[in-house]
Structure 1
Amino acid sequence: MLIAVKYSNTVWLTVLFTVISANPLMKNPEIEAQCHHSSCGTSSDKIQNVTVSYAPDPPQANKNVTIHFMGTLTEPIDKGELNAQFFFATRLVKNETYDLCTLLPDVNHTCPVSPGPFGFTIVTHVPPSYKIPPGRYAGMVNATDANQNVLFCLTGYCIVYL
């Protein structure tokens, strides 16, 4: 479901951001999906005003989609972790924790990250429609700093019908 990148953890995170932020398959008359994404964060998160958008909207099967993540970092980040969970139906397919500072170079950032506007863009390939089985896809991504303070939290799901 992804671009070819050098780290498998980036591949899984791109899948997760695709599920969270996009309706991952439309423009095929044989497939319908209902998708939703939202913040699971609070007013005390270290990254505020989080938005996730994508282009084209809606994404198209067998084409690239560009996913934009933006927010405002309220405090510097010296180190942290990112936890990613990906579900198909009710089955947990992937549950991984990553060193945040190891991931940031893949999106053109390095630790420490200074307060202020913070964003990145991921380009991924949406698979052909015949490779997308019907069912419920869900994901959650949350990040914490070294003191376990929440940086951000996003959840999303798509229900795919044939």
Structure 2
Amino acid sequence: MRFFSVACIAALSASNFVSAGSWFGTDDVTVNEAKKVPGDSPLQFCDTDHAKDTVHIEKVDLLPNPPESGAKLIIHATGTVFEPIEKGAYVKLTVKYGLIRLISTTADLCDQVENVDLKCPIEKGVLSITKAVDIPKEVPPGTYNVFADVYNSDDTPITCLEASVTFGSKRKSTDASESVVDL
């Protein structure tokens, strides 16, 4: 469930939620610049109208970006909450590995935000979250696609985020000439 918790945190962190960080990997990050969440992360806004979102995501940074398997990932997200986020808020989360659906679930958002020391209701105002998570070194190579659609208890949209990250060969610089070695 750590993966799910990190996904929820990402979506709320940015909204304030980062995205399934414990699955994000080493090499390629695909980002459409027009939909990109501000900051240094693979997060993008979904193809929906965000004018009525309960949370405005101002910035999400991941360190390192892209995340690396077997390393600690630090997530820093800031945003503004326009309406309180109440008990009963929920997230619809889908995670795919290539074309294979790994997770497709709806979960209680308030249970998940406790992982970043927040509790519902989350009141109006500026929200800033920093969270460190360990990414398992056993993450299989491949592309992971995450979709998190988040709603308040009255079904008003909080935010909708997606990300795509490819785990693959890790690149390391071996000398000043910037040689690249595929492991």
User: Which TM-score applies when normalising by structure 2?
Assistant: 0.68
Alignment partner, residue 77 of structure 1: 85
Q: In structure 1, what is the equivalent of residue 148 of structure 2?
A: 141
Where structure 2 has 5 or more consecutive residues not aligned to the other structure, the ranges are 11-17, 32-42, 170-183
The superposition leaves residues 53-87 of structure 1 with CA deviations (integer Å, 9 ceiling, x where unpaired) of: 11134433321011123211111122211221110
1:12 partnered with 2:1: no
Query: Which structure has more RCO (C-alpha within 8 Å, separation ≥ 6)?
Result: 1
Task: Specify which of 51, 58, 63 is matched with residue 59 of structure 2.
Answer: 51
Contact kept in structure 2, 1:24 and 1:60, CA below 8 Å: yes
Following superposition of structure 1 onto structure 2, how do residues 121-132 of structure 1 map, counting pairs within 5 Å? 121-128=130-137, 131-132=138-139
Instruction: Figure out how many residues of one structure are paired with residues of the other and give that number.
Output: 147
- In the alignment, does 2:118 pair up with 1:91? no
The yes-or-no answer on 1:34 pairing with 2:29 is yes
Following the alignment from structure 1 to structure 2, what is the Cα–Cα distance between the partners of residues 19 and 78?
Answer: 21
- CA shift digits 1:16-47 (9 cap, x unpaired): 74666699333xxxxx4233330125111010
C-alpha spacing 1:35/1:52, structure 2 compared with 1 (3 Å): same
Moved more, 148-157 or 58-67: 58-67
For each residue in 1:140-159, what CA deviation from the matched residue of structure 2 results, as whole angstroms up to 9, or x when unmatched? 11210111110011101023
Q: Distance in 1 between matches of 2:19 and 2:86?
A: 28
- Deviations along 1:86-138, one digit per CA (max 9) or x if unpaired, are 1001121111211122222221111211111123233222233xx33332210
SS in 2 for 1:118: strand
Alignment partner, residue 73 of structure 2: 65
- Distance across 1 between alignment mates of 2:3 and 2:139: 17
CA distance in 1, matches of 2:78, 2:120: 17
Q: Which moved more, 1:99-108 or 1:135-144?
A: 99-108
| Stretch moving more, 140-149 or 47-56 | 47-56
Q: Is the deviation greater in 148-157 or in 89-98?
A: 89-98
- What residue ranges of structure 1 are gaps of 5+ in the alignment? 1-7, 27-31
Alignment match, 2:163: 156
Give the distance between the partners of 1:122 and 1:53, measured in 2 at CA: 11
Q: Which has the higher strand share?
A: 1
Find runs of 4+ consecutive structure 1 residues off by over 6 angstroms.
none
Write the distance in 2 (CA, Å) between the matches of 1:136 and 1:15: 16
